[in-house]
Structure 1
Amino acid sequence: MLENMRGVENLTRDRLEAIISQHAAAKVDGKLQKLEVSGRVKFTMKKRKIKESLEELGRYIDMLDKFQVKADKIAVVDELYTPEGTTGSTLPIDTIRNNAKKLYNTLTKTWCSKHSSHAAGLLLEQRLIQKPKKRLSQLHRHRHRQRQRQHVTVDQSAVQVRKSAPLSAASTTSLASTPSHNPSEFQIITNLCSILQGPCHPCIGFRLDSEGYLRGTYSAQRDAAHMHGGVSLEDILKGKSWTFSQREQYDLSITLVSSLLQLSHTPWLQGTWNKRDIIFFRAKVADSTHGISVDLKHPYLSREHKQKTPLVHCSSGDITDSSKILALGVMLLEMCSALPIEEHLEDGDRGQHDQYTEISHLQAARRWLQESENEFSFAFLAAISYCLQCFMKPRASLSDQAFSQTVEQQVLAPLENERNMLLLGPTY
């Protein structure tokens, strides 16, 4: 039974007796059967080999784990620098633009005839939808749970107007939710100034009907608590009393980029824009960190309405947007450094009539970017560089869907992805 078996040459009598005593011979039909332990002995002799195999398997598993960790890091970098984070606006761009045109034209014909011009500010919002993605930290804690982002759309026919000084010449507007009333239940407004000058709630609501008439009013709720009076992005940069936090840099930059994509070829962005046109209200509660009270979460695009300005209809799409995109790149550069572009202009940048022009700003921005390249993150460097390059494209038009998608991929997506990774953690 134990003959010709390997590894039993040194088996002692005592050990053999122990094996036999544990495996008493069985009887079949009264006959004593042989003790079959050869299979067990062979298995015992293979334990060392099995142990070695398991150790080798463990080494291979550890190696695969290391490869997986490296692959995850590469995936995070690829996601950060590829334009796949943004999936577009909560509404079609054409719908947003048509609503913006309708609002502008309605305000223009509803102002009083007493003043030659009126100032109005449009609340800028991102209105972006993103694909829900799991963060690595969430994946480890909630492996079997799915997390989705919720997006709330608002009634696009609703307008909120906040009173600001001078009341007869200025207001701030935003699209917002309203009571579920029929627009015809409200009175048609023919003189907006008279309502703003009279005693009324600090934030009042109006409705735009299908005919383009402004109807109202009703008491509305503010998105945030403000005081009267505002400050421009130019004032903040010139004052040098504010250092943008990382979140403020990304959020405000993404808002400006998405607003350009949405409002281009509307009267709100019919011409170019700059830091003087970006207005913030002063918050009621001062920021203890910065020492000033500015609500950076709610930027407004300020525009002047003149009495003789004709109503603006749908654009033919021939207007170039190269100047607007250059201005966007300059503002991104200024916000990253918390300094105005004027501090980097040189005498050699002056153009015709010894004046600084947008070409002057382009030259100063390129020089500034090259000298301080290491001070900017990858996303800001890529976004600003692309904006400056677009100035050399005389036919650049955001009404062209292909070009608009390129701007979204090269400017908006890197900023959004980098913001999400730095503030929320990498995705899986």
Structure 2
Amino acid sequence: MLHQTLGKAWSCSSHASHEIRLLLEDRVVRRKELKSLKKVKPPSQPLSFTITHKSPTSCALWKSAKIEIIDSDREADKENKTVRFKESDTRRFGQGQQSINIRSIHGLTVVGGLCTAFRCYNRFGFGLDDQGVLYETYQAEIKPVCCADNLISLQELLLARSDKKCIIPLTDQQRYRLSIILTSSFLQLYSTPWLNKHWNQRTILFSSTLKDDQLEVDLRHPFIAESYGSSPCQNTTSMEAKEVADDSANLLMLAKILLQIKFHDRASSISNKERASDPTTFDRVRESQLLNQWVFQERENLSLGHQNAIKFCIDSSNRTDADLWDLKFRQIVLDKVIVPLVDELNYMQGVT
């Protein structure tokens, strides 16, 4: 719904296309265990996304805006899961006029074009309701993110060796945070065209700056970029997108990314074999074998959480019932992949 609404809202006749960036954020809700037996209240903050845009005809700075999901049925998670995924029913989009009438009572303005809204304000927020209607809701102090023009892809970051003085090695905590952010965003955005047919390291970008001959990468704010045309975009339907998506390949890619983040500064005979293979073809059996060999080779250097998470992704890629379009299966992936990494990061930070 977010992708569809943004596509329609960029229907600006003044510009041929609009480049926007969607921030990939850590959307894992952590439930702190209290010493008392009081119930933990569910999070009061609504789900939100941060987008960044720069006018295609000016040298103005990038501007950021937050889009909050409003009027969603945010029920308390009675099953005590870390994160619950919820997708809106597309059949409810026809109730847009009713939604507009309700919203007008509260004095909220429906957004006709995002390009105009970005020109008028420096810091602002939108509300997106469950009928796919976008509103101007508030002006906020939003720190601009994803705003640098000097970019580096996840692929370039992971292939960089720590012996190169221009690259600052990742700390252990940075590796965990990056793995959690990318995996949670991958699961939440999987059924949208943001991730296209295949998820890979080239589509994930970071802002970077050069200081004292060292490249500082903003690891806290990875993002993906999208281009919207001047006319309302013809979005790929869910069924069409599902037909071209390859769950097996994407699960193996997730396992590979987790391994590469963990060992990004170390040479591996397995990764060398991958570089020598044909990059234009995907051989699931060979890819699975190489990743299993990599896990076995590094078994003494992998934590239990990392090992179980990566093995789960590899094993699931070989299952015929593994369907990333199924919210229940995505919840299983979250429990098996993200939760162990969050627990280990909390232990590392001394969080109980």
- TM-score normalized by the length of structure 1: 0.57
Report what 1:154 is aligned to. Answer: 45
Contact 2:21 2:53 survives alignment (8 Å) = no
Q: How does 1:84-233 map to 2 (within 5 A)?
A: 102-111=1-10, 112-113=12-13, 118-133=18-33, 152-156=43-47, 161-164=51-54, 166=56, 174-176=66-68, 185-186=108-109, 188-190=111-113, 192-193=114-115, 196=118, 198=119, 200-201=121-122, 203-208=123-128, 212-216=132-136, 219-223=139-143, 227-229=147-149, 230-233=151-154
Q: Deviations over 1:178-203 (max 9, x none)?
A: 9xx9675435323x34555x4752x4
Give the conservation status (yes or no) of the 8 Å contact 2:23–2:49.
no
Q: Which has the larger radius of gyration?
A: 1
Distance change >3 Å, CA 234–CA 221, structure 1 → 2: farther
Q: Residues 227 and 210 from structure 1, CA distance in 2 versus in 1: closer, same or farther, beyond 3 angstroms?
A: closer
Residue 217 to residue 323, structure 1, CA distance change in 2 (3 Å): same
- Shift of residue 335 of structure 1? 0.8
Deviation at 1:228, TM superposition (A): 2.8
2:158 matched residue in structure 1: 237
C-alpha distance in 2 between matches for 1:294 and 1:113:
36
Q: Distance in 2 between the 1:273 and 1:373 partners?
A: 26
1:344 matched to 2:272? The reply is yes
How big is the alpha-carbon RMSD for the aligned residues of Structure 1 and Structure 2?
4.1
Residue of structure 2 in register with 1:357 after alignment? 282
Distance 1:313 1:408 in 2: 25
Q: Which amino acid aligns with 2:152?
A: V
SS at match of 1:275: coil
Distance 1:131 1:207, change over 3 A: closer
Match of 2:261 in 1: 335
1:211-263 Cα shifts (integer Å, max 9, x gaps):
53444486432256665324322232244413221111111211222222322
Secondary structure at the residue paired with 1:126? coil
Equivalent residues of 1:105, 1:312 under 8 A apart = no
The alpha carbon displacement at 1:337 in A equals: 1.3
Counting aligned pairs with the same residue, the percent is 26
**Preserved CA contact (<8 Å) 1:322 1:394:** no
Partner Cα separation in structure 1 for residue 111 and residue 232 of structure 2: 22
Partner residue, 2:81:
none
Change (3 A) 1:367 1:408: same
Structure number with the bigger relative contact order (C-alpha 8 A, sep ≥ 6) is: 2
Change (3 A) 1:409 1:176: closer
Calculate the TM-score normalised by the size of structure 2.
Answer: 0.67
Change (3 A) 1:398 1:165: same
> In the alignment, is the contact (CA less than 8 A) between 1:159 and 1:205 conserved in 2?
no
**In 2, distance between residues paired with 1:312 and 1:320?**
16
**2: CA distance between counterparts of 1:326 and 1:118?**
32
**Given the alignment of the two structures, is residue 310 of structure 1 paired with residue 230 of structure 2, yes or no?**
no
CA distance in 2, matches of 1:409, 1:226: 29
In the alignment, residue 212 of structure 1 is paired with which amino acid?
G
Instruction: Find the residue that maps to 1:411 and give its secondary structure.
Output: helix
Q: Tell me the equivalent position of 1:390.
A: 316
Counterpart for residue 71 of structure 1:
none
Report the Cα distance in structure 1 between the residues aligned to 2:129 and 2:143, rounded to whole angstroms. Answer: 23
Aligned partners of 1:162 and 1:204 also within 8 Å: no
Report the alpha carbon displacement of residue 332 of structure 1 after superposing the two structures with TM: 0.9
CA offset at residue 413 of structure 1? 2.2
- Among 253, 273, 278, which residue is 2:204 paired with? 278
Q: Which residue of 2 aligns with 1:84?
A: none
CA distance in 2, matches of 1:308, 1:358: 37
Higher helix share: 1
Q: Note if contact 1:122-1:172 (Cα within 8 Å) is conserved in structure 2.
A: no
Structure 2 distance, partners of 1:147, 1:215, is 37
Is 1:420 matched with 2:346? yes
Name the CA shift for 1:225/1:274 in 2 (closer, same or farther; >3 Å).
Answer: closer
**Contact 1:126/1:259 (8 A) holds in 2:** yes
Residues 165 and 329 of structure 1: is their aligned pair in 2 closer, same or farther, counting only changes over 3 Å?
farther
Tell me which moved more, 408-417 or 310-319: 310-319
Q: Which of 303, 319, 329 lines up with 1:377 in the alignment?
A: 303
